[in-house]
Chains A and B, each alone.
Chain A
Amino acid sequence: MSWIKTTTRFINAWRHPDERVREVETELRFHIEMRTRANVEQGMTPDDAKHAALQSFGDFERVRNNCCEIRRSLPFDSTPLRMGLHIGTAVLAGLAALWAVNVPHHNFTGVMRQLIAIAILTYLFVVVRRARSKRRADNELVNGVLSAKITAFDEQGHTPVERVFKS
């Protein structure tokens, strides 16, 4: 049952975040080690081989963070749930703001309610902004607009053509 494994992994990623980061790092370091060995076998010095391996791997931290982020993402398409939460929060905050504004503000209670209304509207603004930026980040990672550079060579093995594959 792969969904059980996925859910267990998701829970573990939140329960033991450091362990998961170490696991990802071990995996990525293994890759760099293998590439370094291959480079040495091709005649490079160990230092050059390591340098070339790191270069061909790309941004280590970005890859590690992406992997950890994917591991922590919900094991199902969470877009409807998140949308529901944001809409619910917005409606509740809007109602509370209406309640707060809907009183005369020439006494202490009225002024306090006005302040509460301003606080609620500020909160609402922050929530909407956060939701928008989070959605952009999630789209990059989870909803499949993750780009990978793939180099295509012609039959003679030269004239590389770089293509960005989106997955």
Chain B
Amino acid sequence: MPKAKATLLQGTLDMLILKALSLGALHGYGVGQRIAQISGDALKVEEGSLYPGLYRLEQRGWIESEWDVSENNQRAKFYKLTRAGRKQLIIEEQNWERLAGATIKALRAV
């Protein structure tokens, strides 16, 4: 099975996490599932690497967490977007769209 490796843009994981949480509070496992779901199973984040990302976003004040009971009655930590996080998501989306648009334009240039 052919495989390719590439380094993509900084901030992509942050944006995906913020986007996943913009749809509602989730625990870490749920964030990974939601990213897979909203990308139509096209993107799967290496599960463990989600957590340092979540902690860093919380440290920046873009998300906040609290312990609650999960759907299977276990104690779990749920994350939700803060107001600052919502603003940051808009900025990230705009940046991404601008960059993607410019890249497509450059690739289609004749």
Listed in ascending order, the chain A residues whose CB lies under 8 Å from chain B are 2-3, 5-6, 9, 23-24, 26-28, 30-31, 33-35, 37, 56-60, 62-63, 66-67, 70-71, 73, 75, 141-142, 144-154, 157-167
**Residue of chain A at shortest CB distance from B27:** A30
A6 and B46: CB pair below 8 A? no
B72 and A75: CB pair below 8 A? no
- B1, B10, B49, B82: the one contacting A160 at CB < 8 Å is B1
B43 and A167: CB pair below 8 A? no
Closest chain A CB from B18 CB (angstroms): 11
Which residues of chain A come closer than 8 Å to B53, judged between CB atoms? 146, 148, 167
Counting contact residues on chain B (CB < 8 A from A), the size range is: 35 or more
28 A-B residue pairs with Cβ-Cβ distance under 8 Å, sorted by A, are A2-B64, A5-B64, A9-B58, A24-B51, A27-B76, A27-B77, A30-B27, A30-B28, A63-B48, A66-B51, A70-B56, A71-B55, A141-B52, A144-B10, A146-B52, A148-B13, A148-B49, A148-B53, A150-B12, A150-B44, A151-B44, A152-B43, A154-B42, A165-B12, A166-B8, A167-B10, A167-B14, A167-B56
Interface string of B62-100 (1 = CB under 8 A from A): 001000001010111100001010000000000000000
Report how far A58 CA is from B42 CA in the complex, Å. Answer: 20
Q: Of B27, B41, B48, B59, which is in contact with the most chain A CB atoms at under 10 Å from its CB? A: B48
- A27, A57, A167: the one contacting B12 at CB < 8 Å is A167
Interface string of B1-35 (1 = CB under 8 A from A): 11111111111111010000000000111000000
Report how far A29 CA is from B2 CA in the complex, Å. Answer: 33
**Residue of chain A at shortest CB distance from B4:** A161
**Residue of chain B at shortest CB distance from A60:** B48
A27 and B43: CB pair below 8 A? no
